[in-house]
Amino acid sequence: MSYKTIFIKRLLQLIGVCGALMATLAACKRDLGNYNYSAVNAITITTDTVNADRLMVINNDSLVVKQGDTLKVNVLLSQTKESGDLSFSWLVTQKNSSNGNPGLYVIGNTRQLTARVLLLPGLYNLVVKATDNTTGVSYYKIFSLNVSTSPWGNEGWLVLQQQANGSDLSVITTRDGATRGSIYNNVYFLANGHKLPFGTNKVNVLSYNSSVGSQKVSFFYPGGGLQVRSYDFSDSSTNDNWFVVNSAPNFQVNGVVSGGNYEYLINNNQLYNRVISSVTIKNPPVLFGAPYLGSWTLSPYVMLANSTAGYAYTLYDQTNKCFLLYSANANTLLPNIADVPNKHLAAFAGQASDLLPAASGFDMNNIGRNLEYAENVLPLPASNGCLYDCFFRNDGHDSTWLYQVPTLPTGYLNNNTSGRFYLNPSNVTGINTAQKFAVPTHVVTKDKFYYVTNDVVYTCTVQTGAASTSAAAGINFPAGTKIGVMKVFKSEYLSAPATESKVLVVTTDETASGGGNKVYFFSIDINGVLNPTPVQVYTGFDKIVDITFKKGLGQ
């Protein structure tokens, strides 16, 4: 075939393609719009919390139900294009990726869910799907569903008591006293058929990261500790199964980084860590490693900064009377330098005059006093560090100071030129013998704390200058009352309730006046002032040795 013939053939093919293209374009031009494009109906799903059982519907995203009970949930819809042709489906899925979905995972197909829950106790996702049948487009809302086995297995205050033949636990099923709760006594014995060891002195509640979807409840007693299931308090493990290498138990404090996975334990004034995550819990047991040792003897207080940057703990060395900053991520001090007492942080960056008795600065490397108590003044988790009230005394226990210490996640400049307050006993009655303190987080001025002397709870207002700081009696109990535990309500809920930090819980022994053992709930106003008339009073307890709040699982 000649080149001329090939050229003519290719030219005719090209002309044919161009002709087809022009015909297509012409057809498109003649189509002047026989199509009806319309916006999709976008549906927003929220929870009807007004017309709901508030013991089940905790908030817009969290539900609680006892195994075997009927769960009722009604949703509210917001549509960009109103449609009456909607269908619904309610599904239960696993919360933890290490578990499979329930066998029966579709539990409803109406807008209002009414379904008996027969799931095993635990934390699940409840998913509602709303479908616009006109368009076939579906929208979803996911709830955290906590299935418990008993009315005392969810939210409430755990009251640890000493009894003649051991110790046991009561649960008050209230959050903040606003709603009258029930008292369930001896719930540990009901679950296990025996008492807690005699001398059990502390109950701990740890709520792990939401991806883990679990809680830990543990008890400390002389020479040991034990852990129970959070939803029914059945025995789970004892301290001889907690460590890679067991050590002599003298447990002092147990907690978890707010919003994080690192769990810390101070035992014999030494720090231990373990990581609880959706990955590690697939291969139990998850053990505490070796202690992080150095020249320090740690005070039993762990001051947190935030949940992501290094998972940093600010600690206090009671031997050398100075602060340390530890990173759980790196398992080192920050900065990671040689272990030299009183030189673990940067040198003081202020002036020498800032450290004089009449001034208010402080050198974190050289506090020179004994830490008596520490509690956060800002809510946790904090995004860029926190603030703690730290109460110090001298060796003679005849002088007390408040240091407001900003805890940081990555390192200290050590340049605090303010924040140290001498608490003059002439104005702050009984402060040098006070053993119980509590600190609210909602007071904007951060100038209030509460302390106990004899049978009185005092409110202290902190101001610059020793003569300016003063205290006034906030709550007076009957003469001879022994005040046991005092705590500000700090729920650790992801979405803080309206009463967060605005309730003071106090336990008392009023047997001297015939009143028995009690738990009081007092309200705190926006300025930190206590209302001396209790919101609620619960009675009928044995000797109370500890109390702590347990939030609802997954909230």
Where are the chain's structural domains? 43-148
Rounded Cα distance, 144 and 229, in Å: 19
Res. 363: pLDDT tops 80: yes
Dig out the tokens for 136 from the structure: 């076939």
Flag whether pLDDT at 262 surpasses 70. Answer: yes
| Statement: residue 9 has pLDDT above 50 | no
Question: pLDDT band for position 98 (50/70/90)?
Answer: low
Could you tell me which of 42, 37, 264 has the C-alpha nearest to residue 140? 42
Average of per-residue pLDDT values in the chain: 89
- Rounded to an integer, what distance in angstroms lies between the CA atom of residue 60 and that of residue 48? 8
The predicted-structure confidence for 182-229, as pLDDT tens digits, reads as follows: 999 999 999 999 999 999 999 999 988 877 778 899 999 999 999 999
Q: Which residue has the higher pLDDT, 343 or 32?
A: 343
Please say if the pLDDT value at position 5 is more than 50: no
Q: What value does the mean pLDDT take over residues 29-42?
A: 62
pLDDT of residue 12: 44
> What pTM, to 2 d.p., does this model score?
0.81
Res. 349 pLDDT band, cuts 50 70 90? very high
28-42, 50-64, 464-478: which range is least confident on average?
28-42
pLDDT band at 308 (very low <50, low <70, confident <90, very high): low
Is 2.60.40.10 the CATH classification of the domain at 43-148?
yes
DSSP annotation of 551 reads P
At 385, the pLDDT band (50, 70, 90 cuts) reads confident
Cβ contact 45:139 at 8 Å = yes
- Ordered DSSP codes for 287-339: -B---B-SS--B-S--EE--SSSTTEEEEEETTTTEEEEEETTTTEESS----
Q: What is the pLDDT of residues 275-290, one digit of tens each?
A: 998 888 888 899 999 9
pLDDT at 6 over 50: no
pLDDT for 150 equals 80
Asked if residue 141 lies in contact with residue 126, where contact means CB atoms within 8 angstroms, the answer is no
The DSSP code sequence of 131-184 is: EETTTTEEEEEEEEEEEESSTTSSSEEEEEEEETTEEEEEEE--SSSSSPPPEE
| Beta pairing class for 137-148 and 62-66 | parallel
pLDDT tens digit string along 488-518? Answer: 999 988 888 999 999 999 999 999 999 999 9
Q: 3-state class of 102 per DSSP?
A: coil
**What pLDDT band is residue 38 in, cutting at 50, 70 and 90?**
low
Residue 87 pLDDT > 80: yes
Tokens of 456: 């009185």
In the 8-state DSSP scheme, what is residue 55? T
CA distance 384 to 551: 25
Phi, psi of 142 (to 5 degrees): -115, 130
